[in-house]
Structure 1
Amino acid sequence: MSVDSEIQYAPARLDLAGKVALVTGGTRGIGRGIVLAMAAAGAKVIVSGRDRSNAEDVVAATRKVGTEGDLVVCDLFDDDAVDTLISDTVALAGKLDILVNNAGIDADGPMIDYDLETWRRVIRFDLEVPMRLSQQAARHFVANGGGSIVNIASVLSQVAVAEAGAYTPAKHGVLGLTRTMALELGKQGVRVNCVAPGLIQTDMTNNLWGSEAGMAYARDRIPCGRIGQPRDIGGAVVFLASEAADFIHGQVIVVDGGSLAT
């Protein structure tokens, strides 16, 4: 590889105009925030989810903020559906430039009593499925001039909490997957990075923020003094998927209001 002797100062674009992005679990919560942020940045976003009605609602919302999107109904617990999601997306949209592995599940419980089948279910959905989709997307990207993969992990890819017996190991694995694939694929034009959300206000986290104790936690333990919003994660994903992040490979951006700094 030759080294360009010219120093480049022209600003890189922080938009996704002309790009096609697939977002798994894009029908609600963090996924919905990512979809709308990417649409506002100019991408055509393909929303993947199990519920057609919810997916259609998000696709309709993309029309109000940016480029019109589309949907692929897909149950990521179905091996055959996982195997064809990338090819189905390419067939629908004509190409694929960005994969966002956002879909995830959780099941709390102490490790000493953690049920093996529950462990396998969480690890499969939160780690194995992103690995399989990333493999397929990477093959497409390498054959078509490059692309970007953004994995959604968690602050629990950096630390641990009690009774997150499968979720924490899975999210640590997502970070390892990100770094491994980045090392292998960077010279082939594929960038792989990761966003690690902290406490984000969604239906899934209502048990954490939907109480006075949760609000007190936000005031006292999150340096910026508020709970994160899905749009906060969407902004980080847009950046990592854009030309502005072209020299960023194998990295994790923690979006937690400063919690890990305390």
Structure 2
Amino acid sequence: MKDVVALVTGASRGVGRGIALALLAEGATVHVTGRTLSEAEANGGKRAGSLEGLELEAANLPGRVVIHQCDHSNDTETERVAEKIRAGNRLDILVNNAWPGYENMVEDGDFTWPRAFWEQPVWRWDAMIGTALRAAFMMSRAVAPVMISAQRGLIVNISFWAAQFYDGNAIYGMAKAAADKMAADFAHDLRPHHVAAVALYPGLVRTEAVMQNAEYFDLSNSESPQFIGHVISGLWRDPALMSKSGKVLVAAELGQEYDIADINGYKPVPLTAADFAKS
């Protein structure tokens, strides 16, 4: 992957950070965005993870990381990052991962996530639709011409099974369903230019937030944050990539197809629609 240039949005922590680290471990040049620049800022907000922390963690990896502080709720900041990417005239992989939708799960001591849709705080719509979904569209729109010019590229929307089955929150389901549809329609428009677009589902990922609440999860079939990044790398190298364009893909299924193990050697078992239908 030493000649590959990627952009991962929302990479200061969680899945995005893991994807960036995996691509860097395989030698890619990886541009990353995030709101939190320093660990001091992260700790002030009582959340682990920052762009500078990622930069330090990546120092001994073969790839090169380029950090961009960016709040994707602001289109101007998204465009500023895209402009820098376009100036380099090269982008192979875009991973739309920025996701503020899990913030403020508890408000005034009340866990508001599972409330019925008419009781949901409106800020959650703005976070999931107005920021996350809009950022995926705006960034894809801004950098697609670079991929089209090269006649090769891959856009990945990080999504989840909530697109297909109720997963505790109606707004969450709408946002993920829209991410899937966005990838499908992007694929239609991009196919003549040999650029692929997919929606990619992780399993249960051992993010910082999950590990802080590990007692509530069965981690026996969980994935490291890096796993899905190695899967994206495998997808990029797949000679049949264009045949997968427009589809919803499951990271663990691709891991099996490409014989990719997680960083601990474990090969995650894919979740299926049946797992959610019976839950």
Q: For the superposition of Structure 1 and Structure 2, which TM-score range results when normalised by the shorter chain?
A: 0.7 to 0.9
**2:81 corresponds to which residue?**
85
Is residue 2:175 matched to residue 1:170?
yes
1:232-258 Cα offsets, whole Å, 9 max, x none, are 211222122335453321122223633
Equivalence for 2:159 = 153
Number of residues of Structure 1 aligned to a counterpart in Structure 2: 235
Q: What is the letter of the counterpart of residue 79 of structure 1?
A: D
Please name the residue that 2:201 is paired with.
196
Deviation at 1:20, TM superposition (A): 0.9
Secondary structure at 1:66's aligned position in 2? coil
Determine the structure 1 residue equivalent to 2:27. Answer: 42
Contact 2:95 2:157 in 1 (8 A): yes
The one of the two structures with greater contact order (alpha-carbon pairs below 8 A, sep at least 6) is 1
Partner secondary structure for residue 150 of structure 1: strand
Aligned-partner SS, 2:94: strand
* CA offset digits 1:214-242 (Å, max 9, x no partner): 23xx4xxxxxx322211221122212233
CA–CA separation in structure 2 for the residues paired with 1:245 and 1:103: 27
Q: Does 1:19 align with 2:4?
A: yes
User: How far off is 1:117 after superposition?
Assistant: 4.0
Matched residue of 2:226: which SS? helix
Across the aligned residues of Structure 1 and Structure 2, the Cα RMSD in angstroms comes to 2.1
1:5 is matched with which residue? none
Q: Distance in 1 between matches of 2:64 and 2:231?
A: 21
- The equivalent residue for 2:95 is 100
| Structure 1 residue matching 2:217: 3-state secondary structure | helix
Q: Distance in 1 between matches of 2:57 and 2:14?
A: 14
Q: Give the partner amino acid of 1:78.
A: N
For 1:106-121, what aligned pairs fall within 5 Å after superposition? 106=101, 108=113, 109-121=115-127
- DSSP-derived class of the 1:69 partner: strand
Give the structure 2 partner of residue 210 of structure 1.
214
Distance 1:32 1:121, change over 3 A: closer
SS in 2 for 1:125: helix
Change in CA separation of 1:245 and 1:37 when aligned onto 2, cut-off 3 Å = farther
**Structure 1 counterpart of 2:182, one-letter code:** L
Given the two structures, how large is their TM-score scaled by the length of structure 2? 0.77
Report the secondary structure of 2:101's partner residue: coil
Task: Classify the secondary structure of the residue corresponding to 2:68.
Answer: strand
Letter of the structure 2 residue corresponding to residue 226 of structure 1: N
Q: Quote how far apart the aligned CAs of 1:171 are.
A: 0.7
Structure 1 gaps, min length 5: 1-15, 219-224
SS of structure 1 residue aligned to 2:78 = helix
Q: Do the aligned residues in 1 keep the contact of 2:89 with 2:146 (CA within 8 Å)?
A: no
